[in-house]
Structure 1
Amino acid sequence: MRLSLEQIIRYQTEGYLIVENVCSHAELQPVIEEIASEIDKRADRLFAEGKLAELYKDEPFERRYSLLHRQCPEIGRGFDIAGYLGDEIFKLLCNKNLIDLVECLLGSEISCNPIQHLRAKHPARGSADGSSAPDYFQNVPWHQDCAVTSEDSEASEIITFWMPLVDATAETGCMEVMPHVFKLGYLNHQAEGGTMIVPEKLPQVEPVLAECPKGSLVIMNKYTPHRGISNRSDIIRWSIDLRYHKTGANSGRSFQPSFPVRSSSDTGSVLRDPDVWRTLWREAANGAGRKIHRV
């Protein structure tokens, strides 16, 4: 899968690009099943500890986790890619279609960046299922992804690849982006209210709704301001956000593991074993006590 010249120019001009049908629903199903299995393990443990009264085994993937989370928010503790390091997630990091697109923008020496997340945006208060998600699950404030990297990676071209596991729409809580603003470079951020661009520094630019179907991608420059909007549906807006950079460049998280996913000069350097990947993470500092945001 390759980007057209028109798509590359659009990305380079606007600082973001939506690419549809990167991974088929069939390709994503093992990832979804792996996430569901992790939810099962966590729910069964909490049920045995008396912290859950109902397991909601018959609820679909798009709804079950919210019902469990409302009973016991502890189920979400450490629930992230680095928190369970599954085989299917690893395969997605190295997915050929995905890496083909990365190569169109970064060249053939590519590493997977350690800043990678699994996100569950729960239905907002007053949504159809009556759930009451905390505010921090909802309106993620305007920010640039470079704000969660170390300053010594300023020269590194780190690109975000955001993929929803359900259709990301205005109703389910897709992102909004500010086109063209990446050309301004890093904008000062503050920690108050969540890592966010200092309000006085926020450009007065009309945002664009970045709706994105399941298995498609929103590709973003690290300086592109974006935010998440409320999920007004009755399902969880599951998504995975990954980042890639040129091998040898500073990753912005030097204490966490990057690894080569493609190389034309040294094919033997490409990591293909998820067990090695897991070992890298488990041997890393994992950010404990380390500053990971610029503010």
Structure 2
Amino acid sequence: MKLNTLRPRRLRQSSAIRDMVRENSLSVKDLVYPIFVVAGENVKEEIPSLPNVYHLSVDNAVKTAKEVYELGIPAIEVFGLPEYKDEIGSSAWDLNSPVQRAMRAIKEAVPQLVIIGDVCLCQYTTHGHCGQLCGHEVDNDATLKLLAKVAVSQAKSGADIIAPSDMMDGRIAVLREALDEAGFQNVAIMSYTIKYASGYYGPFRDAADSAPQFGDRRGYQMDPANSREAMKELELDLAEGADYIMVKPALCYLDIVRQVRDRINRPVAVYNVSGEYAMVKAAAQNGWIDEKRIVLESLLSMKRAGADIIITYHAIDVAKWLKEEN
């Protein structure tokens, strides 16, 4: 065979040709921006381990939501630090907590912006675990009842999508039943279906003040060594009625994202988590990498693996970069 009959470089000769044959693309519509809401007024404090990410009071959360919407980002995910904590995390379903107040204010100010509510108890409990304790173990079934209260309270406050991140068994079915009984049949569930016990969550636990006071979360989050188990979790959440499937973290688990994508026809989300973001920021601040190029390449890899939705702290920057390119 003559060498000149096989030349893949012919399809790389110009930017126009490369654009014509590009297999995957990144759009602002793929993005979700996470925010952290706190009590008080006129609060905008940078989180040390997450440069350019802030703790926001409700008024500033609304301003950020408006910016996000104007940039074309379709959704935010709301996390929060409560005004009080207790053993069962009751502030998580308090309608006067910062998260619920922020949801109401954002929905009133920017009604077309999709609001995703994180449903978990870790940042609301005194012990920092994701559910009600029995001794030093999280009581799975007792926790489900509490998570249902959180989901309904967030739906009442304006959440369009509920995103349980606790990794309790059976939670999707329980939340679906609770939402339906409360009249929120149209509120969707984005399940943290495959959430690994990862070392990449460190900056988030700083941001949300959610580090466990003892032990770790390996008893309910997944072992990073396992992929067949991830498919079991996927089957269970599909059967229980999850509308979206999420893999978390993203970068080290793109093989899992591809396995999920090949098995289902529902939307697949990934969470480009705090540790992934912080490493890029640190390297960029030291001048070691081209931040824009690295971020766009990383997020494109998530799309290539099969993700439809990318939750990322880079979302605002990416939206601006994509706008400049167009």
- TM-score, normalisation: structure 2: 0.27
Q: Give the structure with higher Rg (CA).
A: 2
Higher helix share: 2
Q: Which has the higher contact order (CA 8 A, sep 6+)?
A: 1
- TM-score, normalisation: structure 1: 0.29
